[in-house]
């Protein structure tokens, strides 16, 4: 077991025990990659919680946690920001213009998963755009 796998052993064990399917743990250029599909948002949140305890400010830069929630288009998701509204952007990236906002705890509809960080969503009022996936929990 490498030093990185040892450092993140608790996270890897949790991924195995939370039912993450297609789990792959690989290492490249001193960065550990954990990929897979979570059965639900709670399983993904658990992994992020553990990651936050091991590397509280995510400063080490030695782990890429790439776990998707197995949600299909049309699935409802809850906005899980701390208290603020979630920006909805024209494209997937913080450099893209904001086209609207989704309120804290608002339910939105997933249109597609662009990548691990950005999902295409649509609000009940019809605003469609990209939102940061970390603040969305499929229901």
Domain harbouring 131, CATH code: 2.30.30.40
Q: What is the mean pLDDT of residues 122-129?
A: 88
Average pLDDT over residues 99-117: 87
* CATH number, domain with residue 12: 3.30.70.1770
Q: Which of 69, 89, 121 is the last residue of a domain?
A: 69
Residues 45 and 93 in one domain: no
Q: Based on the fold, state whether residues 46 and 93 are members of the same structural domain.
A: no
Verify that 87 and 112 share a domain, yes or no. yes
Residue that terminates a domain, selected from 69, 85, 104: 69
- The helix/strand/coil state of 10 is helix
Q: Do 33 and 51 have their domain in common?
A: yes
136 within 8 A of 121, measured Cβ to Cβ? yes
The pLDDT value given to residue 10: 97
Based on the fold, state whether residues 81 and 64 are members of the same structural domain.
no
pLDDT at 96 over 80: yes
User: Stretch 54-73: mean pLDDT, rounded?
Assistant: 78
When divided into structural domains, the chain yields a total of: 2
* % of the chain exceeding 90 in pLDDT: 45
pLDDT at 72: 56
Last residue of a domain, one of 69, 87, 112: 69
* Lowest model confidence (mean pLDDT) among 31-45, 79-93, 102-116, 121-135: 31-45
Enclosing domain of residue 132: 76-138
Query: Is the model's pLDDT at 71 over the cut of 60?
Result: no
Strand pairing partners for 3? none
C-alpha count within 13 angstroms, C-beta hemisphere, residue 11: 28
pLDDT of residue 106: 95
- As a whole number of angstroms, the distance between CA 77 and CA 109 comes to 6
Same domain, yes or no: 9 and 52: yes
Q: What pLDDT score was predicted for residue 98?
A: 96
Same domain, 15 and 57: yes
Cα 41 from Cα 49, distance rounded (Å):
12
Report the distance separating Cα 132 and Cα 127, nearest Å.
15
Same domain as 111, residue 63 = no
User: CB of 85 within 8 A of CB of 108?
Assistant: no
49 by DSSP, 3-state: which?
helix
Same domain, 8 and 65: yes
Contacts of 115 (CB under 8 A, 6+ apart): 92
CA distances in angstroms from 96 to 29, 61, 89, 103, 132, listed in the order given: 30, 24, 6, 19, 12
> 131 and 86, same structural domain?
yes
pLDDT at residue 39 in the model: 76
The pLDDT value recorded for residue 52 is 84
């Amino acid at each position: 077991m490498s030093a990185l796998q040892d450092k993140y052993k608790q996270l890897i064990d949790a991924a195995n025990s939370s039912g993450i399917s297609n789990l792959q743990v690989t290492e490249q250029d001193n960065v550990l990659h954990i990929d897979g599909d979570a059965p639900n948002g709670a399983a993904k949140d658990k992994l992020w919680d553990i990651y936050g305890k091991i590397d509280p400010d995510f400063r080490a830069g030695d782990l890429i946690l790439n776990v998707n929630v197995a949600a299909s288009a049309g699935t409802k998701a809850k906005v899980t920001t701390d208290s603020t509204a979630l920006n909805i952007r024209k494209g997937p990236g913080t450099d893209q213009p904001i086209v609207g906002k989704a309120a804290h705890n608002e339910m939105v509809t997933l249109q597609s998963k662009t990548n691990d960080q950005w999902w295409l969503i649509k609000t009940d009022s019809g605003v469609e755009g990209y939102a940061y996936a970390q603040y969305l929990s499929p229901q």
